[in-house]
Amino acid sequence: MKTNPRTIVLGCSSFWTGVDVAGDALTTIVIVKLPFPMPNEPLIKAQIDLIEKAKRNSFVDYMYPKMMIKLKQGFGRLNRSVKCQVAVIILDSRMRTKRYGKAVLKSLPKCKYSEKLEDIVRILPV
């Protein structure tokens, strides 16, 4: 990535824990889906079952907070200094269609955002 600025990296959950690229080697991140835990993984399923057995809301008490921690960590890795300026594009429609979408935006570091494609195209690096 450092030697070829046109490199494209595709990742999954490993992105949130393994990326550490400083400077202008990383300019654009596209997030297809918000990083919610996988509810069908045995450990997560067991934790969700315990929460629901206690008559609590597993989304509010577990899924949403876990997703927000990962998303904030991802933003923190991308914008570590004034020299690190990254365009982050979140394609997940839940940002617009679910009540928690606005709360997600408010929780992220202060930045410009837009839902208009023409605005996004103007800020992307050439």
What's the pLDDT score for residue 99? 92
**Alpha carbon of 105 to those of 52, 77, 111: distances in Å?**
27, 17, 9
Q: Is the pLDDT of residue 28 over 60?
A: yes
- Between 113 and 93, where is the model more confident? 93
Q: What is the mean pLDDT of the chain?
A: 81
pLDDT above 80 (res 8): no
- For residue 24, the model assigns a pLDDT of 66
Local structure of 29: helix, strand or coil? strand
The pLDDT assigned to 117 comes to 76
Whether the CB-CB separation of 115 and 57 falls below 8 Å is answered with no
